[in-house]
Structures are given as C-alpha cells and as structure tokens.
Structure 1
Amino acid sequence: MSKQARGIWLAAGGAALWGASGAAAQYLFEQTPVTTAWLVAVRLLVAGGILTAVSWHRNPLHLRELARYRWAWWHLLGYSVLGTLFSQLAYFLAVKASNAATATVLQYLQPVLIIIWVALASRKWPRRIDNFSVLLALLGTFLLITDGHPGSLTLTPLALFWGLLCAVAAALCTLLPVRLLKHFDTLAVSGLAMLVGGILMLPELFLTPWPHLTWFAWLMVAYVVIFGTLLAYTMVLASLNYISPTATGILGAFEPLLATVMAVGLLGTRLTPAMVVGSLLILATTFLQALPVDLNPFGRLRAKHHH
C-alpha cells in the first residue's frame, strides 16, 4: 500500500469511527438510562488518560516541557474547559435532543463561525469564497431546520440550541489550542486536555449512580470511548504523516456521512429530501474551506475537532 493510500484510509477510517460514535451515543440515550454527563466523563477520563500515558511512553520530555510554562497551563485549562469539555457536552446534548445525523451536520457549521471570527479579528471583509461559504451554510441550515417550509421547525428549540452550540464548540476547539500546538506535542496537548476535562467531570461519576446496562449497551459505551475517541483520533493524527491536512480535512466528511447512514439505517431516524440537501450544503462549506492555502482564509488555524 502506498503512503498516500495509507493516509487516505487512516483519515477516512478515523472520521468514520467518529461518525459511528454519534450513532452509538444516540442508541444509548434512546434505549438506556445513560446520561450525557456520565458518558462525557467516562469518555474523557479513559481516552484522555490513555493518550496522556501513550505520550509519556513515547517521549516524557513532551509532557515535562509543557509543565514548565505557567502560560501553557492556563491555555491548556482554557482549551480543556471551553474547547474539549464544552464540545463533548454540546455534541452529546445535541444528539440526545435531536439525532446523531443532525448534531454532526450542524457541528460542521464551524468553518462559517471561524470565517466570521477571522474577519472581525483582522477587521477585513471576507473574500468571495468565504461569503459564498456563509451563504451556502445559511441556506443549508434553513433547509435542515425548517424542511424548506418557513415558519415551521423540524427540530425543537432545545435541539437547535445545542446543535448551534456544537458549531461554536468545534470552532473553539480549532482556535483555542493554536499557540499550544505551535510549541508542544499534539498528542500531549490533546491527551492532557481530555484528561483535565474528565477530572472536572469526576463529581458526575461519584455523585450519580452508575447506570444498569446490558452487555450490548456496555459494548456501545466501550465503542464510544475506545474506537470513537481514542482510535479515531489516533488514526486521523497518523494520517497527517502521509497526506496533507487539506486532504485529511476533506476526508473528515466521512464523519457526518456515516453518522447519517447509521442513524437512518439502524436507528430509524427520518430525514426528508430537503433536510438531506441542507446537510449537503453545510458540508459543502467544509470542502470550500479545504481548498489550497492561497484560497483558504484559515491558514494554520485549522485543527481537527474531536468529540
């Protein structure tokens, strides 16, 4: 297998595992007493602990170097709370309030939010391709949440609220760790961010009775933590050794694709033609923003979110 083919399989496979974790979470929320806070706590603690241990095993200097600087710990805490923990909670709450397909697609509004942020921060009007991306995203969101009928909503206000917060959280996951990732190892930063977020959720595990689950439900929990978080993130990160970040970003479209296929095919989620078109328009903004750097307003700001 060539290096390029290996990178493509890793990126697409990792994104697909992420997407399937959304469908697994939807099953848990619909069929079991698992709560969003409990699932987030378990996911972040286990995945964050393992990633941090792997980082330490590979090169202890990466973690020691990060621990030397006080500014790094403040940045890491902000990224852990406002990025990693916030994105996990917002995504799973959106899945619970709607479904995996809708939550994952709405999360992909993040490029639009970053376009707006970059324009405000630089005090420059967005370029044509950016304006076109925003229009596509707005039209797609309109179709997704109204089914093309003004005055009616296919989502509850709560589902729409958490879905839009998914996009905000994904944008923060892209913007907040920029300085950290310039100075420190990606695996160390991501592992510690998850671990710190999980530690902050420890009261949920201590104060809330653990749910009584069937063996299949426990398998779904294990999938979300191991395959949908730990393995998915590792595969996407490894793909960058073989293909460009642009290609990895484009192949990330497998995440909402698989989440939609599994939600519709296995969980009975209903999507109308207008909602499907709206979802495709939103995803199209990701492809536009994954164009070569000379056409890309983000430059080095793009970083893969992980939920």
Structure 2
Amino acid sequence: MTGQNKKITGILLTLLGGGFWGLSGACGQYLFEYKGATSEWLVPIRLLLAGYAMLAFFLIKDRKSTLSVWKTKKNAIDIIFYGLAGMMLCQYTYFATIENSNAGTATVIQYLSPVMIMAVVCFMEKKLPNIAELVAMACALLGVFLIATHGNINQMIISKEALFYGLNTAIAVVIYNLQPRNLMKQFSTPLLIAWAMVIGGTVLCIIFKPWIYSPIIDLEAVMALTAIILFGTIVSFCFYMQGVKLIGATHASMYASVEPVSAALLSFLWLKVSFEIVDFVGFALIILTIFILALASKGDILNAKIKQNV
C-alpha cells in the first residue's frame, strides 16, 4: 500500500469508526424513546454481548495470552478497576445522558474529556497549561454553558440529570484513557476492552437485573441493538484502531470528531430532535477543542524533533 493510499484508507476507517459511534448513540435514543428501554437494561446487555463476543475471538485465537491478563495481582486489580471505573461508568453514564437528553448532546458533552485529560496531565506533571490549552479549556466551558443554558445563566435548557450524567461521562472517559497505561504496555488494547466489557457488564447485571425490565422486543429493536453491539462497539473500535495505525493518533482523533456530528445529525433527521442555532454553536466550540489540542500536540512533537536536530 502506497503512502497516499495508506492515508486515504486511514482517514476513511477513522471516519467510519466515529460515524458508527454516533450511530450507536442514536440507536440507544431510539430504544429509549420508542421501545421503552432504559439505561439499566441496555448497557449491561450491550457490554456483556459485545464483551463475550470479543473475548471468544481472543480465546479461540490465543487462549494463553488472553488469560495472561490475570497472572499478576497488580494486573488483576488494574483490569478490574478499568472495567468498573472506566468502561462500566463511561458506558452507563453516556447512555443515561442520552436517556435524559438526546444522542447529539450526550456525545458532544462527552468530548469535554480531552480538556479534562489535559488538565489532569498538567496537574500530574506540575506544569501550567500553555496558551493553546487555555483556549481549548475556554472553548469547552463556553460550549457546555451554551448547550446547558442557551446563554441565559438563569435558566437550564437540558435537565440537571442530563448535565450530571454527561459531565460524569467525560470524567469516566478520562479514567478510561489514563488508568490502563500500565496494562496497555503489556497487552493489546482490544483484549483489555473485551475483559473490561465483561467485568462492567457482569457487575451492572448484578446491580440492575436487566431481566426484570420489559422493553418492546421486535424486529426494529433487535436491529437497533445489533447496530449498537456490532457497529457501535466491535466494528467501530476495530476501524478506529486501524485508522490510528495508518495515520497516527493525532490525525485520527480529529477525524473521529465526526462522532458528535453524526449523532446530532441522526438525532435531528431520524429522531426529529430540534436544535437551535445556539446549540450548534456550543457543539462547534466543544469539537473545536479536539482540533486545538491535536494541533498543539503536533506542534510540540515537531518542536521537540527540531531541538533534537539542532
């Protein structure tokens, strides 16, 4: 594959991965609005089915490597924490945000996580954020303010529950990205995702007992659930990770920001959610933070290379 073909393929895979993530959110909203589903029913089922499907693949492929995650006490504790505080919390709060608002809003608020990650890294490394990071933080805060209040500090446009769950989703994404660093040095990311889904899904099943709920299960519901599990979880992740390999994490993160765009468009066109211009301004400001931080990171890498060559 030539360099140009590799770049084009990477861009397409990343765009498809982000688009399928947006589709997953819209399908979740459809199940909530039209099939009587709840987050307490949907999330455990999604995590368990997707997790066991991925885990079965790894067990068939290489049983020894798949089980080696549990060989040391430290790794076992890390994967359990990752499954609970990262995967389980992230997935539950994300779909709870959708249930209390819509897929577009939930997905955009989730994209506050890069700014939060930046703040955590600055704190851990005991350094002040640079100008680009401060601008990104300001854009993110202003974006959330506009989405939540439409510019009027005395009113809340989205429910307090939606804002609460949305902000907790962003926090969970921070844990999801930063906590498993040690594990990712030893094991493949898809394998860790599979175990985390099984752990998170099992615990949620114990807590919420999804079998006591009675959503409408018809062909449309099965299709939506299949889209969430197959395309919104397994295929989307595989496409995105392959895109990262082909074009790098910096570019992939920018192209993957199609996720909130696709979620908002599907909410608007398919589920008839109404947005105002101020909502789109808020969406744009939050998505802009991804580009600011990605470009700033690329600039830091370039400067480091220049210094090495001097």
Segment of structure 1 superposing worse, 77-86 or 149-158? 149-158
Distance 1:240 1:4 in 2: 10
| Match in the other structure for 1:267 | 271
Q: Which amino acid aligns with 1:44?
A: L
Alignment of 1:281 with 2:285, yes or no, is: yes
Partners of 2:24 and 2:66 in 1: how far apart? 29
Rounded to whole Å, the distance in 1 between the matches of 2:266 and 2:32 is 15
DSSP-derived class of the 1:148 partner: coil
Alignment pair present for 1:36 and 2:39: yes
Aligned partner of 1:72 in structure 2 is: 75
Which of residues 47, 51, 59 in structure 2 aligns to 1:48?
A: 51
Matched, 1:250 2:254: yes
1:74-223 aligned at under 5 Å gives the runs 74-203=77-206, 204-205=208-209, 207-223=211-227
Q: Which amino acid aligns with 2:221?
A: A
Structure 1: gaps spanning 5 or more residues: 298-307
User: What is the alpha-carbon distance in structure 2 between the residues aligned to residue 60 and residue 275 of structure 1?
Assistant: 48
**Alignment gaps of 5+ in structure 2:** 302-310
For residues 186-205 of structure 1, the C-alpha deviation after alignment (integer angstroms, 9 at most, x for no partner) is 12111111111112123344
Residue identity in the other structure for 2:255: L
What is the DSSP-based 3-state SS (H/G/I as helix, E as strand, rest coil) of the residue aligned with 1:155? coil
State the distance in 1 between where 2:269 and 2:211 align: 36
Cα distance in 1 for residues equivalent to 2:260 and 2:168: 17
TM, length-normalised to structure 1: 0.92
**Distance (Å, rounded) in 2 between the aligned partners of 1:141 and 1:123:** 27
Distance change (3 Å), C-alpha of 1:137 and 1:296: farther
| Per-residue CA distance 1:219-269 (angstroms, 9 max, x = gap) | 111111111111111111222332211111111111101000000111111
Match in the other structure for 1:17:
20
Query: Structure 2 CA distance, aligned partners of 1:62 and 1:281?
Result: 43
Alpha carbons of structure 1 residues 151 and 16: separation in structure 2 relative to 1, 3 Å: same
Give 1 or 2: higher helix fraction. 2
Q: Deviations over 1:50-86 (max 9, x none)?
A: 1112223333343233222211110000000000000
Identity across the alignment (%): 31
In structure 2, distance between residues paired with 1:207 and 1:256: 31
**Number of the residue aligned with 1:300:** none
- Distance in 2 between the 1:10 and 1:260 partners? 20
